[in-house]
Amino acid sequence: MMDFCNLSPSTVTITVNVDTTFDLPRIANLLLRDHPETLGRKQIVTNKEYKQLYFSPGAVIYLKYKTDWYGVKKSSSLSSDASSSENDFFQITFVIYVSTLARVHVMLFRNGKLKVAGCKGENDVLFVIDRLKKYYSTLEYRVYNYVIANEMINITFGFPFVVDKLAINKLFQDKPNCLAHYEQTTRQYVTVKLYTTRPTRIKALVKYSRANATTTLSVREDPLTGKKKKPNTCFMVFPRRVVMSGCGIDYSIMEEHYNIFMDLVRKNEHNIALPVKNELPDTSAGRVCQSSSGEPGTFKVRGKRGK
């Protein structure tokens, strides 16, 4: 089983705060105008077909605003789109390609906030910002400040044995600062949540941008206020692998929870491992990039993208 520094993030959810407000009806109409080939029709495809789609970078293939949607969507998301909530009137959701084979999901809020899911790093977010700027920028030389921060990071790693889900659920149920749940009839995995007991700090990347000017990047660190809940790490435990999702603003919290999780797994392997022979270990893990200081860098998450 691997050390935390040798794990590879699969995707990152990144938030961006722009010092402006977004005119959502105007932006939605402009997106529909500029992408008639993909948004001029409605098409529902299977999950397999959706994964095989590829478009040029910058192509928007899905858009939802209020109760209407346009473009291509997966059949598995029909139920979530069938019902609208109050939030749907204050945000735009769309899918944009950042490379030929890679796309991200963007939620654009009226108050100037963006949430971008499915990123491999900050370059994906900067690409989205560059493509969006013409839609919300009304003054040619207006200066915009962007505060960019990792909100959540997803990491997948494997076990060298097959896990008994009932046993691992029981193992974590009575541990402090931990919540474990397994519903056999509806889920194929055990949910384990570990909660932090210490304060943390928000590390954010600040991007200063102006038309026809050089972009500069700097890192800002702010304390996490008491109004926000303390970060936790969620482990979705399958028989041969685990999907770990946690605080993207402070890698040390995820590392702490990962070490607690794996320490319990190692010490109780004889109780939670199923007797399966001739199984090959899951080798889907890779590496987390380090900052120049030698510690995991908040914005150093890297991954291969097809260009």
Domain boundaries, the chain: 4-10+153-274, 13-151
Beta-carbon contacts of residue 155 (< 8 Å; ≥ 6 apart)? 7, 8, 9, 10, 243, 244, 245, 254, 285, 288
- 231 DSSP 8-state letter: P
pTM for the complete prediction?
0.70
- Residue 66 to residue 86: CA distance in whole angstroms: 9
At residue 48, the 3 state secondary structure works out as helix
Beta-carbon contacts of residue 254 (< 8 Å; ≥ 6 apart)? 4, 153, 155, 233, 244, 246, 247
- Residue 254 to residue 248: CA distance in whole angstroms: 8
Q: Count CB atoms within 10 A of the CB of residue 53.
A: 15
- Residue 59 to residue 57: CA distance in whole angstroms: 6
**269-281 pLDDT, tens digit each:** 999 999 865 444 4
Q: Count CB atoms within 10 A of the CB of residue 124.
A: 23
Predicted confidence at residue 10, as pLDDT, reads 87
Predicted confidence at residue 279, as pLDDT, reads 47
% of residues, the chain, pLDDT over 90: 36
Backbone angles phi, psi at 241, to 5 degrees: -150, 165
Give the pLDDT mean for 190-195: 92
**What integer best gives the mean pLDDT of the chain?**
78
In this structure, which amino acid lies at residue 89? Answer: F
Task: Please report which confidence band the pLDDT of residue 251 belongs to, taking 50, 70 and 90 as the band edges.
Answer: confident
**62-121 pLDDT, tens digit each:** 999 988 999 999 887 655 555 555 556 789 999 999 988 899 999 999 999 999 999 988
